[in-house]
Structure 1
Amino acid sequence: MSKASKNKKYGWIFWGILIIAVYVWAILGMNLSGIQSSAVQVTKSIFNGICHPDWHYVYNGSGEDLVSLIIQTLAIAFLGTFVSAFLSVPFAFLAARSSKHLQVRSKIGKFILVFIRTFPEIVLAIMFIKAVGPGAFAGVLAVSIHSIGMLGKLFSESLENMDHGAEEAILSVGGTKSDALFLATLPDIMPQFLSYTLYRFEIAVRSASILGMVGAGGIGTPLLFAIQTRTWSRVGIILLGIVVTVTVIDWISGTLRRKLG
C-alpha cells in the first residue's frame, strides 16, 4: 500500500472517530431528568393509536373528515403556489443580474426577496390570522407570500444563467425588447419556471399541513386537537393521510418535472 493510500485510510479513520466522539459527548451532555415517568406509557399509546387508526374518520360527509380536510390542504397549497408563481416573475426580472449598468436594481430585487424569505410561513400565518381571521384564506396568503421569496430567487437565477443568444439575434434584426421577451426569453425559461413551481408546490403541501396548527385551515387543526385530547387513533389516521398525500404529490410532481427537464 502506497503512502498516499495509507494517509487517506487513516484520515477516514481519524474523522470517523472524531464524529463518533462528538456524538457521544453530545448525548452524555443531555439532561434526561426532565423525562416524565409516564413517558413510556404515553409512547405506547401513541404507537398503538398509529397502528390502529380511526378508519371511520376517513370520510363521513361532515366536511370535517380526513378527505375533506386533505382536499382543503391541497387547495391552500395549490392556490398559494399558483398566485406566487405569477407574482414572482416581476421580482425575478428585478433581481436578475443582466447588465453591469443594472447592478443597483438587481441588488434591490435580491434584498426584497431575501427580506420576504426571512419570515417563516408559520409566522406569516399567525400575522395573517390576526389580519383576516383564522381559516384557509390566511393559509393561502402565508403560502403565497413566502413562496414569492423562494420562486423569485430561483426564477432570477434561471434568467441569469440562460443563453441570451436568441435575444441578441432578435434585437440585431430590428426586433423590440418585447419581441425578445416573448419570442426568446419566456419560451427558453418556461420549462424551468414550471419545474420550480411544481417543486414549490410539493413543499407547500407539507407547509399547509402544518399551518392548520395555528388556525390557518387544512388538516393541521384536527391533528392538533387530536394530539391535545390524546385521541391517538385519530392522530394515526391523520398522519397516514398526510404521508399518503405527500408521497403521491411528490411522485406526480417528480414525474412531471422529469418530463419538463
Structure 2
Amino acid sequence: MSTYSVKRPPRKIFFKITIFVLLTALYVWSFAGIDFNGFKETAGIISQAIIRGIFHPDWDYVYLPEGEDLLRGLLDTLAIAVLGTFISAILCVPFAFWAANNISKFKQISGTGKFALSVVRTFPEIIMAIIFIKAVGPGSFAGVLALGLHSIGMLGKLFSEAIENMDLGPTEALLATGANRFQVLWFAVLPQVFPDFLSYTLYRFEINVRSATILGVIGAGGIGTPLIFALTSRDWNRVGIILLGIVVMVTLIDMISGFIRRKIV
C-alpha cells in the first residue's frame, strides 16, 4: 500500500507565516503600550474587604419598607433593559429593511442603510447615557434612551442579515400571482424572519440587562446607582449583596432567555 505525501504550496505556507508574524507583532505592540506600574499598597486590603463583604452580605438591604433597596434597584434595572430592548426592536425594523441587499434593486440604497446603522452603533451605551443625562436629567429615562438608541444599530444589523438570508422563493411566487408589496411582506417575508428577529431580540435583552447595571454608575438609574454609593462609602457588606443580586438576576435571565430561544429555533 503506497502513501503519497501531499506538499503544501509555498504560497499558502508563506501566507500563514506572515499572518503569524503580524499577529505576534500586534500582541507585542499591545502589551508594550500598557503602562503597568504594579498594584497599590491598599489593593490587597480592599480586595480582602470586598471578598469579606461578598461572603457576609447585608441581607437587611434586600428589602426595606421605605427607601431604596436591592429589589427596587434590580427591578428598575430590569425595566430599563425591557423598555430599551422593546423600543429598539420596533424602531430598527425599518432600518433593517433599508439596509438589506435583497430588498432594494439599488445597492446605493442598502449601502446608505448599512452606513446609518454603523453610525448609530459606533457610540457605546455609556457615551449615549452621558449625553441623555445632560439632555433629560439623571434617572432611568436616560438609561432607556441610551440602551434603545444603541440597540437600534446592533439589532438593525442582525435583522438585516436575517432578511438577506431568507428564501426568496415564496416572495417571487406571491409576486407572480399578483400580490401587492404588503401581502408579500406579511405572508412571505415576516413568517421567515420573525423567529430570527425574536431570537436576536432576546439575545440583545440579555446584553442590555448587563449594560443597564453599568449605566446606573453614571446616574442613568438602576442598581448601579446604589452600587457606586456603596463603593464610595466602602460599605462592603452592601456591595456584596448588590453584586450577589446582580449575579442571580443575570443568571436567571440568561437561563430563561436561552430556553425560549432554543424553543424558537
Same fold judged by TM-score > 0.5? yes
Match of 2:64 among 60, 64, 86: 60
- Residue in 2 that maps onto 1:153: 157
Task: Specify whether residues 228 and 191 from structure 1 end up closer, same or farther in structure 2 by C-alpha distance, changes over 3 A only.
Answer: same
- Residue in 2 that maps onto 1:32: 37
The residue type paired with residue 256 of structure 1 is: I
Match of 1:230 among 234, 239, 263: 234
Match of 1:183 among 184, 187, 208: 187
The residue type paired with residue 151 of structure 2 is: S
Identity of aligned residues (%): 58
Q: Tell me the SS of whatever aligns to 1:101.
A: coil
Q: Tell me the SS of whatever aligns to 2:105.
A: helix
Segments ≥4 residues shifted beyond 3 Å: 29-33
The residue type paired with residue 119 of structure 1 is: F
Match of 1:144 among 136, 142, 148: 148
- Residue in 2 that maps onto 1:243: 247
CA offsets, 1:43-93, max 9 Å, x none? 211111111000000011224100011001000000010011010000000
- Residue in 1 that maps onto 2:96: 92
Match of 1:219 among 209, 217, 223: 223
Residues matched between the structures, number: 244
- Cα drift, residue 41 of structure 1: 1.6
- Residue in 2 that maps onto 1:41: 45
- Segments of structure 1 that go 5 or more residues without pairing to the other structure are 5-14
Contact 1:137 1:216 in 2 (8 A): yes
- Cα drift, residue 101 of structure 1: 3.0
Q: Tell me the SS of whatever aligns to 1:32.
A: coil
Contact 2:104 2:110 in 1 (8 A): no
Please, which moves more after superposition, 133-142 or 170-179? 170-179
- Residue in 1 that maps onto 2:197: 193
The residue type paired with residue 121 of structure 1 is: E
Larger proportion of helix: 1
- Segments of structure 2 that go 5 or more residues without pairing to the other structure are 7-19
TM-score (norm 2): 0.86
Q: Tell me the SS of whatever aligns to 1:118.
A: coil
- Cα drift, residue 42 of structure 1: 1.6
Task: Specify whether residues 138 and 30 from structure 1 end up closer, same or farther in structure 2 by C-alpha distance, changes over 3 A only.
Answer: closer
Aligned counterparts of 1:241 and 1:151: Cα–Cα separation in 2 = 28
- Cα drift, residue 26 of structure 1: 5.2
Task: Specify whether residues 49 and 246 from structure 1 end up closer, same or farther in structure 2 by C-alpha distance, changes over 3 A only.
Answer: same
- Cα drift, residue 38 of structure 1: 2.3
Match of 1:260 among 234, 257, 264: 264
- Cα drift, residue 32 of structure 1: 3.4
The residue type paired with residue 70 of structure 1 is: L
Please, which moves more after superposition, 82-91 or 54-63? 54-63
Contact 1:63 1:69 in 2 (8 A): no
Contact 1:85 1:197 in 2 (8 A): yes
- Cα drift, residue 99 of structure 1: 5.7
What is the alpha-carbon root mean square deviation over aligned residues?
2.3
CA offsets, 1:213-246, max 9 Å, x none? 1100000011011111111111100000000000
Task: Specify whether residues 129 and 96 from structure 1 end up closer, same or farther in structure 2 by C-alpha distance, changes over 3 A only.
Answer: same
Aligned counterparts of 2:161 and 2:120: Cα–Cα separation in 1 = 17
Contact 1:95 1:156 in 2 (8 A): yes
